[in-house]
Chains A and B, each alone.
Chain A
């Protein structure tokens, strides 16, 4: 009993846990973290284990195992011994979950942030995409597929630079 009570008292608060999670960078886009991308959905204690629920951006995102390992490593530094990372596929991840701050960070890193779409994905795909470097909207889609499932490739017709856009989803 006493030991259990001590354990409970020693637990980091939810705020501390979220703060630590916000220090875990996305493995493929390390300028943003897993919380501001909307990938970490929920935390909760199941007896003495902390369960972290994540929703990968794409169903086949190959980075989710690395994310789980990175999350566990960071939380262990808070003194949490048992961490269970659970992958939840539904409701599906949407780019609407990316925070405004994260969008600015993506843009500063040369990655065009996904436009807001309110569920009207096909409509938004017809709109011009602004170059993250020179802000010109004279840009051309080169490939709907990029170096990761969640990105696509454009070139800017003004500054002539290639760039990637985070896919609206």
Chain B
């Protein structure tokens, strides 16, 4: 890789990490609050996994940037201004009701599984190795969230209505999953990462088919998509303030 590609790949990995971190943070908000005990445990595990995966991506980025990998994830998470995060608004949205969180997790996991299937073939071997690790763990996420879509859609009138409302709100934001990540265009040509556009078509057909089976209506208005990862939702500053509050009280503290 030349210097430009190295920089681009680091930026790409930080964006992937930011998505995982913020989704994991939202998932963690269910700990102690999920509707049933099993799902409380499940969401705590999902949160832990996503935040763990964020750490792996941050560490890879640190190696590319030539900075110390041990401290880099904490610096990124606890001491970076909100404006410098590169997550999608899709993961920033408040946790909503449980159908909303479950559906968001499913849509994200389904997309991620396609991306990981391609990242395991990356020309940059450390990236391919980490992708392989994350991919097997994510099989359990997708199995779980996939199973809940028909349960919600075909369950009761209330569960169906809640899932439909969640879908209607999430769908426009989910369109940004396929938008190019920072650096993606330069990297795709070199076989370092897959192009998000090609993954998006496969993902869209797959999730639409499952949603239809679950009796959800999938006719959506053409909404404007905010695909620029530098533009955050109105909910993001409060999320970051919450996430960073304790660490910033005493930045030199030893944990």
Which residues of A line the B interface, CB within 8 A?
Answer: 58-62, 89-92, 94, 121-122, 125, 142-147, 149, 152-153, 167, 169
What's the least CB distance linking A146 to chain B, in Å?
A: 7
B41 near A60: Cβ-Cβ < 8 Å: no
Q: Is B38 located at the chain interface by the 8 A CB criterion? A: yes
Q: A60 with B53: in contact, given A90-B132, A143-B38, A147-B41 (CB under 8 Å)?
A: yes
What's the least CB distance linking B56 to chain A, in Å?
A: 6
Q: Is B51 located at the chain interface by the 8 A CB criterion? A: yes
What's the least CB distance linking A154 to chain B, in Å?
A: 12
Q: Is B212 located at the chain interface by the 8 A CB criterion? A: no
With contacts defined as CB atoms under 8 Å apart, how many contacts are there between chain A and chain B in the complex? Answer: 69
Among B44, B53, B126, which residue has its beta carbon within 8 angstroms of that of A59?
A: B53
Q: A149 with B136: in contact, given A60-B53, A60-B55 (CB under 8 Å)?
A: no
Distance A146 CA – B144 CA, assembled complex (angstroms): 12
The B35-61 residues at the A interface (CB cut-off 8 A) are 38, 41-42, 44-46, 48-49, 51-53, 55-56
What's the least CB distance linking A143 to chain B, in Å?
A: 4
What's the least CB distance linking A149 to chain B, in Å?
A: 6
What's the least CB distance linking B28 to chain A, in Å?
A: 12
Interface size in chain B (residues, C-beta < 8 A):
25
B49 near A149: Cβ-Cβ < 8 Å: yes
Which residues of chain B come closer than 8 Å to A153, judged between CB atoms?
38
A169 near B129: Cβ-Cβ < 8 Å: no
Q: Which of B51, B53, B136 has the most CB of A within 10 A?
A: B136
A145 near B41: Cβ-Cβ < 8 Å: yes
What's the least CB distance linking A150 to chain B, in Å?
A: 10
Which residues of B line the A interface, CB within 8 A?
Answer: 38, 41-42, 44-46, 48-49, 51-53, 55-56, 126, 129-130, 132-134, 136-137, 139-140, 143-144
What's the least CB distance linking B137 to chain A, in Å?
A: 6
What's the least CB distance linking A155 to chain B, in Å?
A: 11
B137 near A59: Cβ-Cβ < 8 Å: yes
Chain B residue nearest to A125 (CB atoms) is: B143
Among A59, A144, A167, which residue has its beta carbon within 8 angstroms of that of B42?
A: A144
Distance A121 CA – B142 CA, assembled complex (angstroms): 13
Among B48, B56, B134, which residue has its beta carbon within 8 angstroms of that of A62?
A: B48
Q: Which of B48, B53, B132 has the most CB of A within 10 A?
A: B48
Chain B residue nearest to A147 (CB atoms) is: B41
A145 near B46: Cβ-Cβ < 8 Å: yes
Chain A residue nearest to B43 (CB atoms) is: A145
In the complex, given contacts A92-B129, A142-B38, A144-B140, what are 8 additional A-B residue pairs having Cβ atoms less than 8 angstroms apart? Answer: A59-B56, A60-B52, A89-B56, A91-B133, A122-B139, A125-B139, A145-B42, A149-B45
B48 near A143: Cβ-Cβ < 8 Å: no
Chain B residue nearest to A59 (CB atoms) is: B52
Which residues of chain B come closer than 8 Å to A147, judged between CB atoms?
41
Which residues of chain A come closer than 8 Å to B134, judged between CB atoms?
59
Which residues of chain A come closer than 8 Å to B56, judged between CB atoms?
59, 89
Which residues of chain B come closer than 8 Å to A62, judged between CB atoms?
48
B42 near A143: Cβ-Cβ < 8 Å: yes
B46 near A169: Cβ-Cβ < 8 Å: no
Distance A147 CA – B38 CA, assembled complex (angstroms): 10
Chain A residue nearest to B49 (CB atoms) is: A60
What's the least CB distance linking B129 to chain A, in Å?
A: 3
Distance A167 CA – B136 CA, assembled complex (angstroms): 11
Distance A69 CA – B48 CA, assembled complex (angstroms): 21
Chain A residue nearest to B46 (CB atoms) is: A145
Show 7 A/B contacts (Cβ-Cβ < 8 Å), sorted by A. Answer: A90-B126, A90-B129, A92-B129, A92-B133, A121-B136, A145-B44, A145-B140
